[in-house]
Structures are given as structure tokens and as C-alpha cells.
Amino acid sequence: MVHDCALTQNYILIFDLSITFSPSRLIRRYFPFAWNRKHQARIGLLKRHQLDQPITWFEISPCYFFHAINAFEDADGRVVLESMRYERIFDNSKLGPFGETLPYPTRWTLDTNCGAVREEQLDDRAAEFPRIHPNMEGIATDFSYALGLGTDIQALNYNQIFKYHRQTSDVQVHQLGLGEMASEPVFIPKSNAEAEDAGYLLNYVFNETTHSSELVILDAQNFCAEPIARIALPQRVPFGFHGSWVPL
């Protein structure tokens, strides 16, 4: 099951991970993919400008990830991938990725010279739906953003938004109000901005008390402060919807 990919200047990253098609689950009308510990998880590098060349594969420990944060090539020519890693999903749960493990931001460094892979977890707080500056995908960034999931795997709490500082490993937290749950944070750069984080984070936020949704806008450079705008919406926006804000 391939959910996402990533791009760098020279490569397309292909994710061949530990989830495979399950005919038995399909017959039983469950989600038709399942955890497969026997399937070797690996990341493939396909040369963007030489598509006739074979894919170079790098074996990694069993895992799955839906969403890449970003990928880029470092000064030594290594390929760096950052993503939200699940240690195991779709194993006991047959209806969706719930109740088994939480995802954590993780970095894989692929050495294209010797084939070695280094894996490191970047933070011990579960998070999903990562985003970066839209004009910097495929190159090294200083900042990324994600939705916090809380600590209770049986009752996820989308009540925090994270800002990651890649150079310092610092993580800022924007805490939402009681009963408020956010969706994917989308970064919008300011016009003619010089700093990478000069912009806004747009978030759909659902209020469990009022059963209403708002578009909540944060200043990305004053991340922990109160929102600079809250726009009431005429109806609820369901969780999990992906989207981007683009100029008309």
C-alpha cells in the first residue's frame, strides 16, 4: 500500500513498506490491506532525470508512514527523508489505523555511496499531517508543522499544533482551547517574505461543545500566541481532509 511519495532535486522517493494487500480481509469486507511483518520495508530512490535507470533500494526496519514531512539532499549527497512513522498498524485493527501504535516524526538518512541507512526519532510526541513551506518541498528546511495527537491511543486528542525547528530540535506547541480539535495545519507564506517561517498557519478547528467549526489563523513566527483571526464557518468540516490554500 503506497500512500505518499517525496521528491528531492535529483530523486523520486518510493515507499515500499510493511503493509500489503490482503485478499482474506477483502473477502470479509474489512479494510483490504494488512500489516505484513515478512515484507521487507524499504525506501527506493528513482533518478528523476534518468527514469530508465533501476531503482536503488534501501532496507529499513518494519514500519509504515502515510505522510512525508519532507525530503532533501544534504551537502554530502546523502538523501534525507523525514516522515511520521508508525511502528505497526493494520495488524489487529481491521477497519483502519486505530488503536495499535502512534506515529512519531522520524528521519532516515540514505547514503547513496555505501548504501547505509541511519534512522532516528526526532520527537517523543505523536503527530500527523505534517506540512512545510510550500515552495521548499524537496530542499532542506528549517521549519515544519504538524497536528499533535495526544498520548492516549484509544482516544486521540487533536488539541495541539507543533512547530519543529530542524536545526535546534526545538518544538513549539500551540495549545488549543478546551474541547477544540484541529485538522491539518497549512502554511501560507507572506508576500515577499525573507524568513522561511514568515507566514500564517491555517487550521480548521472543531469545537466539541458548540459542534461548530472555525478557520483559525496563527502567526507562524509568534506561534504560541493567541490566534490572529478566528473565522466562523457555516458548517462542520470533517477531520482528516487534506487541502491547500492557493492564490486565485
Average pLDDT by stretches of 10, the chain with 248 residues:
95 96 88 92 97 96 96 96 95 77 97 95 96 95 96 88 95 95 95 95 94 96 97 87 72
Q: What was the pLDDT predicted at 159?
A: 94
Q: Is residue 115 part of a domain?
A: yes
Q: If 0-12 CB within 10 Å is exposed, 13-18 middle and 19+ buried, where does residue 100 land?
A: middle
For residues 62 and 1, the answer to whether their CB atoms sit within 8 Å is no
Quick count: other Cβ atoms within 10 Å of Cβ 12? 16
Task: Check residue 179 and give left, alpha or beta (phi > 0: left; psi -120 to 50: alpha).
Answer: left
Q: What was the pLDDT predicted at 241?
A: 67
Q: What was the pLDDT predicted at 154?
A: 80
Q: Is residue 186 part of a domain?
A: no
Q: Which domain holds residue 154?
A: 6-177
Q: Structurally, how many domains does the chain consist of? A: 1
- Distance, CA of 113 to CA of 134 (rounded, Å): 30
Q: Is residue 89 part of a domain?
A: yes
Q: Is residue 243 part of a domain?
A: no
Q: Is residue 149 part of a domain?
A: yes
Q: Is residue 119 part of a domain?
A: yes
Q: What was the pLDDT predicted at 240?
A: 65
Write down the H helix ranges in 139-229.
Answer: none
- Distance, CA of 44 to CA of 73 (rounded, Å): 14
Q: What was the pLDDT predicted at 95?
A: 72
Q: Is residue 100 part of a domain?
A: yes
Q: What was the pLDDT predicted at 28?
A: 85
- Distance, CA of 81 to CA of 73 (rounded, Å): 9
Q: What was the pLDDT predicted at 115?
A: 93
Q: Is residue 224 part of a domain?
A: no
- Distance, CA of 127 to CA of 182 (rounded, Å): 12
